[in-house]
Amino acid sequence: MQIREILAQRLKQCRKEAGLAQWQVAVYCDITEKSYQNYERMTREPKLEILIRIADCFSASLDYLTGRTDVR
């Protein structure tokens, strides 16, 4: 599985576990809802700065979101 696929799966999983809608994550990260949707759909990859904000939103590490570890 590619990093992009793992990232998309983990973003969706973390968001659902947190009980958040896509627009809520987007607001927290100061991006558009469409941008966040694209990350979950694997049509775009977030820049590092945005990925860090997303990780903060989910209290997860970048390594977890990208599949380098299974420890959040």
Q: Summarize pLDDT for 8-58 with one digit per residue, the tens.
A: 999 999 999 999 999 999 999 999 999 999 999 999 999 999 999 999 999
Q: Is the pLDDT of residue 1 over 80?
A: no
The whole-angstrom separation of Cα 68 and Cα 20 is: 24
Task: Kindly tell me the burial class for residue 17, based on how many C-beta atoms sit within 10 Å of its own C-beta (0-12, 13-18, 19 or more).
Answer: exposed
Would the pTM of this model clear 0.85, i.e. be above it? yes
DSSP 68: S
Q: Which is nearest to 29 in space by CA: 16, 20, 17?
A: 20
The domain spans of the chain are 3-65
Q: Which is nearest to 63 in space by CA: 1, 5, 7, 17?
A: 7
CATH 1.10.260.40 fits 3-65, yes or no: yes
For the chain, the helix, strand and coil percentages under 3-state DSSP, each to the nearest 5: 65, 0, 35
